[in-house]
Copies of this chain bind each other. A is one copy, B any other.
Amino acid sequence: MIQTEDFKTIIDQYKVIFFDAFGVIKNYKGLVPGMDETFAYLKATQKEYYIVTNDASRSPLQLAASFKKLGLKMITPERIISSGMLAKEYLDLKVNDGIVAYLGTANSAHYIDNSGLHTLPVSAIDESNIDQVNALVFLDDEGFDWFRDLNKTVNILRRRNIPTIVANTDYAYPLNMHDVNIAIGGIASMIHQIVGKRFINFGKPDSLMFTFAYDQVRKTNPEITKKEILMIGDTLQTDILGGNKFGLDTMLVLSGNTLATDAETRITSTGIVPTYICEKAVIG
């Protein structure tokens, strides 16, 4: 069992806290117990915080609503930075017209909509409109027929030389204590290998997620430095690696993907070393 440190002592040293969502604030059983007190403490001590999540299946508005439903009322939409927001920014900047095809639910597609573009599920692409497809986005693992639509996606990408965006690069996500589901990042990786083209991956550990969050922080606090920000996450390969590389101090919590029993082995074998290790992101 790995040695852990006291959560409160650590966060007292930082002005801004970035939280991963799944495995830190909530898990498949609901809210991590004690999380409301953590956020009450942040408010009382006037620390800034942001949720930095690879969840591209819902908009910040919907994500905030889901936290509220679990009992966490403080997390407002503007506190949430999701990889889906990066996908939207990319489309706004780089794709001027035509159709954006997507894999995911209608919900996940809703928030990448923008004025000039027409978003359509891959299932709605056929000979009549394929030549107008100017981008393709992997958003969510649900909302489509895997056999029919994954095969169609391969053939769209063979016909059209277009930017292809992977909004969530996770390969799998936990379903319950025992089982996982294949995530859209795993599917995107398979299709990438078949068509051989470079995809644009957003989501942690990529630095753009952290740049986006840091830009938000500086809008209200232009003087904050990276030294004053702590990234808290449950996954070495995304939260900790990405936070470290961006120059932040990092805290690994053991309430999600990484178990107390194998944290040490994983840190040694990957070489991804968090600044701190705590049992969970809970005070006291």
Contacts and interface: CB of A to CB of B under 8 A. Distances in A.
A8 interface: no
B271 A198 contact: yes
A197 B270 contact: yes
Contacts of A161: 267-268, 271, 273
Given A94-B244, A154-B172, A245-B200, A194 B208 contact: no
A76 interface: no
Contact of A89 (B89, B194, B241, B247): B247
B265 A265 contact: yes
A257 to B, nearest CB: 13
Contact of A154 (B155, B163, B182, B265): B182
A40 interface: no
A171 B194 contact: yes
A186 interface: yes
A198 B147 contact: no
Interface in A38-95: 89-90, 93-94
A140 to B, nearest CB: 13
A180 B155 CA distance: 7
Contacts of A172: 154, 194
Interface in A197-230: 197-200, 206-208, 211, 226-227
Contacts of A89: 247
Interface in A235-283: 237, 241, 244-249, 265, 267-273
Contacts of A179: 155, 158
Contacts of A178: 155, 159
A197 to B, nearest CB: 3
Contacts of A248: 93
A200 B208 CA distance: 15
Contact of A227 (B93, B194, B197, B237): B93
A284 to B, nearest CB: 29
Contacts of A246: 208
Interface of A: 89-90, 93-94, 145-147, 150-151, 154-155, 157-159, 161-164, 171-172, 178-182, 186-187, 189-191, 193-200, 206-208, 211, 226-227, 237, 241, 244-249, 265, 267-273
Given A161-B268, A265-B265, 18 more contacts: A90-B245, A94-B244, A94-B247, A146-B147, A151-B181, A155-B180, A158-B179, A162-B271, A182-B191, A186-B190, A186-B194, A187-B190, A190-B190, A197-B269, A197-B272, A198-B272, A199-B271, A207-B208
6 contacts: A90-B245, A154-B181, A158-B179, A186-B194, A196-B270, A207-B207
